[in-house]
Structure 1
Amino acid sequence: MLRLLASTALAAALALPAHALDLTQMSDAEREAFRTEIRDYLLDNPQVIMEAVALLEQRQQEAQAQADVDLVKSNADALFADDHSWVGGNPEGDVTVVEFLDYTCGYCRHAFPELTELVEGDGNIRLIIKEFPIRGEEAVLASRFAIATLQTEGEDAYKNVHDALITFEGDYSEAALTRLATSLDLDADAIIAHMASDEVSDVIDANYALGREMDISGTPTFVMGDQMVRGYVPLEAMQQIVAAERQD
């Protein structure tokens, strides 16, 4: 009898819109039978649970993606038009890629050759680097060195230093950075002296503030057009994202 009541209740529930299902209108016996029927159904059809979980994850991902699009739009000036970040690739490119990076981050290092291939192979991508040292004192030291190079020696010198830092083997120390600058024919003394300046600190502080606004807590994080990519993605996936941006 209870199973019949539950079956009837379940059939009726499925026939009604979601807002019309009101368990408070059932008797205690009907409510208990309804719960039992649902439990039995799920035990007999466990794949339903997995389908529901997959649907929930999909909806959460879609919600996160939309939230990220909104973050990109609301922070567009700081992302794409600040006056302190290095800009490479094609300055007139039709798609802009922004990378938040930490030189001590293994995934940033892993992404470096693939990002380089993406930009150079495409030829129409504008690349912006956001120094975002979040992994300790050595990371901060390396970013200060890179920013100081940009501010004292210019864009070409920064590119050479950036490439050297992201592939550097060993500890980042003032002595090591001095040797690196010298090997690149840069004014090591001027760069080292400038590293502790307010101008360098202001860039890092601005990038930290932007990271907080964008809810960025890890590196690498990419902004590709109006999409955010949190974490490492292989070259093929980056190429697909860029292609999709061009279609929008």
Structure 2
Amino acid sequence: MNLQHSLFLIATCIASVNLAYAEDPQPTFNTKQQAEIGKIAADYLVAHPDILLQVSQKLQEQEAAQQANAFAEVVLANKDALLADKNTPSVGPADAKIAVIEFFDYQCVYCSRMAPVVENVMKSNPSVKFIFKEWPIFGSRWHSSITAAQTGLSVWKERGSDDYIAYHNAIYKTGHDEGELTDKDIAEVLKKIDIPAPSPATLAQTTPVIDNINSLAHKLGFNGTPAFIVMPISANNKDRITVFAGAVDETALTSAINKASGH
């Protein structure tokens, strides 16, 4: 927030005070008195600019809290699509109480950087369910983005969570993203981890799954990858939901898991 915006807010407050006086039986400030009050306030703020910084920080905190609350409401409204879609790959115990949901694209460089972070968090939190929403947003630019997502969903459907996470991590470990990941890379990864290529029929079934994930991401207000939601699976407590619209570090994810568990 800039100085002009802060002064405008303060001026609005002064006007509100004067209006309150106008509605009160007591005498109101006259024009000269209002001008003097405004000058005193402006001079004081110039002499104490730290107040403006405090006002700015407070407003930013309030805006962040409002945004977090709005995100949490949308998350709860789409809870079933986030947590109960059997076509979405997941890793973790069936009775998990906490879920970490990631929307990602294999061609996304920030998703690639997050991959080892997510892998470490998974190892440190074996009681948490990790749900992977394949969202190939770069598919119109690099078709292998779609191929990689379709292959991942097919591996999940045909072979389950262990082979899926092996595929998922192996794709990122190629180090290829931002257009460098190719169909050849995908085929070589499958061969390296000893997983047969998915059947054409299974691959064809992934198109509506990806369409649904894309629709869900837009409902949630996401416009890029990666995006994370950390939430309790059964409780409908908005205060325990955390949404990250972008890359985060291991500490932030771990803190969000603790928050979701009520700690």
- 1:146-165 matches, within 5 Å, as 146-165=152-171
1:101 corresponds to = 104
Which letter does structure 2 place at the counterpart of 1:181? L
CA shift for structure 1 position 37: 2.2
2:173 corresponds to = 167
Report the secondary structure of 1:247's partner residue: coil
Report the secondary structure of 1:52's partner residue: helix
How much identity, in percent, do the aligned residues show?
A: 22
2:183 aligned with 1:180: no
- Aligned-residue CA RMSD in angstroms? 2.6
Task: Looking at secondary structure, tell me which structure has more helix per residue.
Answer: 1
CA deviation digits over 1:156-180, x for unaligned, max 9? 3322211111222343222332222
2:148 to 142, 149, 156: 142
2:94 aligned with 1:91: yes
2:214 to 182, 205, 208: 208
CA shift for structure 1 position 95: 0.9
CA shift for structure 1 position 34: 2.9
Distance 2:162 2:174 in 1: 18
- 1:1-248 matches, within 5 Å, as 20=20, 26-135=29-138, 136-137=141-142, 138-170=144-176, 171-188=180-197, 190-191=198-199, 193-194=200-201, 197=204, 199-225=205-231, 226-247=241-262
- Determine which structure has more spread, i.e. the larger CA radius of gyration: 1
Unaligned ranges ≥5, structure 1: 1-9
Distance 2:217 2:162 in 1: 26
Paired positions, count: 232
CA deviation digits over 1:169-221, x for unaligned, max 9? 34322233222222232322x44x35762x21111100011001100112221
Unaligned ranges ≥5, structure 2: 1-9, 232-240
- Distance of aligned partners of 1:26 and 1:164 in 2 relative to their CA distance in 1, 3 Å threshold: same
Counterpart contact for 1:89–1:120, Cα < 8 Å? no
CA shift for structure 1 position 70: 0.7
Which letter does structure 1 place at the counterpart of 2:32? A
Question: Higher mean Cα deviation, 26-35 or 48-57?
Answer: 26-35
So what's the TM-score if we normalise by structure 1? 0.83
Distance 2:147 2:29 in 1: 67
CA shift for structure 1 position 19: 6.4
- Distance of aligned partners of 1:205 and 1:179 in 2 relative to their CA distance in 1, 3 Å threshold: same
Runs of 4+ in 1 over 4 A off after TM superposition: 16-19
Which letter does structure 2 place at the counterpart of 1:213? K
CA deviation digits over 1:29-86, x for unaligned, max 9? 3333332222211111111111110010000011011111111111100000012101
- Distance of aligned partners of 1:79 and 1:175 in 2 relative to their CA distance in 1, 3 Å threshold: same
- Distance of aligned partners of 1:204 and 1:215 in 2 relative to their CA distance in 1, 3 Å threshold: same
